Amino acid sequence: MLTTKPRGTNDIIPGEVEKWQYIEDVIRDVCRIYGYREIRTPVFEHTELFKRGVGETTDIVEKEMYTFKDRGDRSITLRPEGTASVVRAYLENNLHAGPQPVKLYYIGPMFRYDRPQAGRYRQFHQFGVEVLGAHSAGIDAEVMAMAMEVYRRLGLKDLELHINSLGCPECRPKFRSSLQEFFRPRLEEFCPTCQDRFERNPLRILDCKNKKCRQLAAGAPAILDCLCDRCAAFFEEVKRHLEELGIDYIVDKNLVRGLDYYTHTAFEVMAKGIGAQSSVGGGGRYNGLVEACGGKDTPGIGYALGLERILLAMEQQGVEFPPPWRPDVFVVTASPQAEYAAFKLLAELRNLGYRADKDYNGRSLKAQMKYAGKLNARYTVIIGENELENGTAVVKDMITGEQREITREKIPEIIGR
């Protein structure tokens, strides 16, 4: 128990963490260029926020939340996604009172009580962006372009951008009824979940992974055929903006997000060849969400991508990561008397900006050299009795094996920057 982590969680240990840092660096660079600023919200919120902000009929709220009573008897939930918290923070911190739009991003852990499998965990990490207060189609394209830019910079290939429009509160009721008409005659043949969704949220039937349901839903009316003129024109504009940037997309009429406040653009990015969990990110417009969370009518759009899935996709596609951490220089103490001089030299090298380290376990000279080799140190600097007397050090190039004795001030000249 004490040495076993909870199911569905992961330790990210050195060797692995460098990959995460690399991905996060790429993400932060892209956000800087696109003008998105970071927001950090709590990992837990009042349960009500997610019920309202994610939606009572979603799998997340119905089955997957980590909800508990705190010691003050308040219902608290570990955040299952980022959007609701960002919208709450936008309202609570009066970000709506400043210049609009507000473009935000976050990176952090999310929690869902799901059945763990490769690429699906109970604690996982998402990078997400949210734009609040912008209504034109260009921003939808920008958000998609930005997601694709992150994947491109990470070296991911064979990605598909699937897009759809979910209409608006004006045209969706029409679509909802035509879907119900289509499903009604064979309703008993659908899985129990879909039967349950029929009244509450028939759009989500299109989203069911069950094979039988998929067959039954084939040929169902497409929302794209039910869009009102304004929504159809908006979708055309979004596509045109993507085309201007040369971004390929696939119109996928089965791509749905079944909640009332999701409007217009919905999109998802799939990576080929990473198995069942092929979605590496998704998002869309949610013009009704801010209002549902207690604010004024404010347009919003965002997306989130799963960092574990990105990493998995990168590994499966054989993408190269930057080399792992190694010391530039390892200081070796060749006699006990040299200990203090070595310790001081280590500090001086670090002050000059070198990645430097030394032994702290009283290893013999030979064992220190072996250890430096294991750490993959580029150079070792050896100080023994002679060097202590002469104010010198022996610098060894760990690749060529070459070594020479020099005065200590000259070390940077030899090992370079």
Amino acid type, 264: H
Decide if residue 258 touches ligand AMP (CB under 6 A): no
Element (H, E) at 395: strand 392-397
CB of 91 to ligand AMP, least distance (A): 21
Number of helices and strands in the chain (H, E): 15, 16
Count CA atoms closer than 13 A to 161's CA, side-chain side.
23
CB of 123 to ligand AMP, least distance (A): 8
One of 41, 77, 126, 263 touching ligand AMP (CB under 6 A): 126
CB of 106 to ligand AMP, least distance (A): 12
Supply 7's token pair: 């199911």
Decide if residue 285 touches ligand AMP (CB under 6 A): no
Stretch that binds ligand AMP, among 130-138, 144-152, 280-288, 292-300 (CB under 6 A): 280-288
In sequence order, what DSSP letters do the residues of 308-357 get, joined into one string? HHHHHHHHHTTPPPPPPP--SEEEEESSGGGHHHHHHHHHHHHHTT--EE
Question: Please, which of residues 25-54 interact with ligand AMP by CB under 6 A?
Answer: none
Q: E strands of 66-183, at which residues?
A: 66-69, 75-78, 102-111, 123-132, 159-165
One of 202, 299, 302, 306 touching ligand AMP (CB under 6 A): 306
Question: Please, which of residues 308-367 interact with ligand AMP by CB under 6 A?
Answer: 308-309
Measured between alpha carbons, how far is 294 from 306 in angstroms, rounded to an integer? 28
Amino acid type, 353: G
Decide if residue 300 touches ligand AMP (CB under 6 A): no
Decide if residue 124 touches ligand AMP (CB under 6 A): yes
Provide the sign of the torsion angle of the four alpha carbons 320, 308, 207, 131, taken in this order: negative
- Site map for ligand AMP, 63-102, x if CB under 6 A? ------------------x---------------------
One of 20, 24, 51, 114 touching ligand AMP (CB under 6 A): 114
- Of 55 and 306, nearer to ligand AMP (C-beta) is 306
CB of 85 to ligand AMP, least distance (A): 13
Which residues lie closer than 8 Å to 386 by C-beta, 6 or more apart?
Answer: 392
- Of 53 and 119, nearer to ligand AMP (C-beta) is 119
CA angle at residue 155 from 149 to 158, to 5 degrees? 85
Radius of gyration of the chain (CA): 28
One of 141, 223, 305, 388 touching ligand AMP (CB under 6 A): 305
DSSP state of 190: S
Decide if residue 387 touches ligand AMP (CB under 6 A): no
Question: Please, which of residues 225-254 interact with ligand AMP by CB under 6 A?
Answer: none
CB of 181 to ligand AMP, least distance (A): 29
Measured between alpha carbons, how far is 400 from 397 in angstroms, rounded to an integer? 6
CB of 196 to ligand AMP, least distance (A): 20
Enumerate binding residues for ligand AMP (CB under 6 A): 81, 112, 114, 119-121, 124, 126, 279-282, 304-306, 308-309
